[in-house]
Amino acid sequence: MVQRIRTTLDPSSRDLSAATGLATSDPSNYWKLHASYDIARGHTLDMMLRHYGKVNRPAVPAYESLDINYSWRISPGVELSVSGRKLFDASHTEFGTGPTAPVFERHVGINLVWRL
């Protein structure tokens, strides 16, 4: 998807957030590719690959991200899953700049669900 958004501030506006561009600066391009596979009975694999283009104001570089989840339904009430999020980079910024910008980190986890 490609989008072009241009905004201007009314000269009489008192909106101080407009100067940062945070609310109006989106990436010019982004895409997602999602795939789900039933590997075998009770075994599923889900993957999502995403790309977000750079943001100019505030300056945030383009990035790609990969999420993978493997689930095994051990029994009707028990499911085990292993997942990895944001596997391409140890961390990246999705919006904002400077020391207060949120940083999203790689995550790997195991989840066990037991339904009674």
pLDDT above 80: residue 89: yes
Q: Output the CA–CA distances (angstroms, integers) from residue 16 to 22, 59, 101, 110, in the order listed.
A: 11, 18, 18, 44
Contacts of 73 (CB under 8 A, 6+ apart): 42, 43, 79
Query: Phi first, then psi: what are they for 4, rounded to 5°?
Result: -125, 115
Q: Tell me, yes or no, if the pTM score tops 0.85.
A: no
Q: How confident is the model at residue 60 (pLDDT cuts 50, 70, 90)?
A: confident
- List the single range of 10-19, 42-51, 63-72, 89-98 with lowest mean pLDDT: 10-19
More confident residue, 116 or 27: 116
In the chain, what percentage of residues exceed pLDDT 70?
84
Residue 7 or residue 42, greater confidence: 42
Give the side-chain half-sphere CA count within 13 A for 98.
4
